[in-house]
Amino acid sequence: MALVPCQVLRVAILLSYCSILCNYKAIEMPSHQTYGGSWKFLTFIDLVIQAVFFGICVLTDLSSLLTRGSGNQEQERQLRKLISLRDWMLAVLAFPVGVFVVAVFWIIYAYDREMIYPKLLDNFIPGWLNHGMHTTVLPFILIEMRTSHHAYPSRSSGLTAICTFSVGYILWVCWIHHVTGMWVYPFLEHIGPGARIIFFGFTTILMNFLYLLGEVLNSYIWDTQKKPPSRQGT
């Protein structure tokens, strides 16, 4: 038996994301006042994705509790829709985007933090909030993947969806540069047009890889659990 029910964990994670978002939005940073506001940063978009995802998880848990034993076919049909939406969001957005944000942020940060998170931001964003945005996303999504089975969509539709998201965000970043003359992320200022194209192409490929990684990880976790224990020879 789990030490903490997964339903309680989901509520706690949802509340933590709400707290992180509220604290982040309360910070008066110059970048929040410029074109695109907080929505130009993938970190903020990811926080919204995670909060919405865990909100759907909590809503699914509540609906399951209310539907249990009712025998109402309409309620059960609505519950199946919620579960399908929850599973789709984890597969296509919550896992690949969340892991991407954590991995890319800390890799670039370790190489040269000024390229992605200038030291000046320490005056605005406390350390705990930085980790809430760029670290805890990974263990939270892994906990969800470990505690509940999620049915992935067909591989073609899943990859199409994550590609659409990736290309859409890249176009959004390029549009912001077109309007303001500045790149959202400092390191993009220091590389040439060709290198930017390669970087954008690489990030799209990485997103696709992370989608496939999530699919494999989900199958591994739940196929292993379903596998019957081998019988000892007599």
The domain locations on the chain are 6-26+39-222
- In the chain the first and final C-alpha atoms are separated, in Å, by 30
Per-residue pLDDT tens over the stretch 93-115: 999 999 999 999 999 999 988 88
pLDDT at residue number 224: 59
Residue 233's pLDDT band (cuts 50, 70, 90): very low
- Asked whether the beta carbons of 183 and 142 are under 8 A apart, the reply is no
Check whether 55 has a pLDDT greater than 60. Answer: yes
Question: How many residues in the chain?
Answer: 234
The rounded distance, in Å, linking the Cα atoms of 154 and 218 is 14
- Asked whether the beta carbons of 38 and 67 are under 8 A apart, the reply is no
pLDDT at residue number 70: 67
Per-residue pLDDT tens over the stretch 196-212: 999 999 999 999 999 99
The rounded distance, in Å, linking the Cα atoms of 166 and 161 is 9
pLDDT at residue number 65: 85
pLDDT at residue number 78: 86
- Estimate to the nearest angstrom the gap between the alpha carbon of 207 and the chain centroid: 11
pLDDT at residue number 5: 83
State the chain's mean pLDDT as an integer: 89
Q: Classify residue 32 as exposed, middle or buried by CB count within 10 Å of its CB (0-12, 13-18, 19+).
A: middle
Phi-psi region of 21 (alpha: psi -120 to 50; beta: other; left: phi over 0): alpha
Check whether 91 has a pLDDT greater than 80. Answer: yes
The rounded distance, in Å, linking the Cα atoms of 63 and 67 is 6
Check whether 180 has a pLDDT greater than 70. Answer: yes
- Asked whether the beta carbons of 135 and 102 are under 8 A apart, the reply is yes
The rounded distance, in Å, linking the Cα atoms of 133 and 131 is 5
pLDDT at residue number 223: 79
Tell me which amino acid residue 133 is.
Answer: M
